[in-house]
Amino acid sequence: MFQLFKKKFSKGSRLELKDIDGNNLRNGDMVNALRYDLGVCMISKDQNGYVYESIKTKKQVSWVKMVDATTKFQKVRRISSN
């Protein structure tokens, strides 16, 4: 009975790294974090997956904690490299 309420994913589906505006994110991108008072962060990859590392404080937060439940995008805004 409770199987009705579980979200179904296809075999190849996974959450993508996208900022709050829908822009794709990748390893090495600089972003402005909108949670946890991180400020400007760099995306890096460690043994557990992607993390946001604050440039100022060196605090690291997993990408999973930054997922917006409504949109499934990350609560960060990519800093353009123009």
Residue of 8, 17, 72 whose CA lies nearest to 49: 17
Average predicted confidence (pLDDT) for the chain: 84
Q: Going by C-beta distance under 8 Å and a sequence separation of 6 or more, which residues neighbour residue 47?
A: none
Number of domains the chain contains = 1
Residue 2 falls within a domain, yes or no?
Answer: no
DSSP 18-72: B-TTS-B--TT-EEEESSTT--EEEEEEETTEEEEEETTT--EEEGGGGB-TTT-
**Looking at residue 68, what is its pLDDT?**
87
pLDDT tens digit string along 6-22?
A: 555 445 446 678 999 99
Say what the pTM is. 0.76
* Domain-located, residue 4: no
* 69 falls within a domain: yes
List the domain range (segments joined by +) for residue 48.
Answer: 24-82
Residue 12 lies in a domain: no
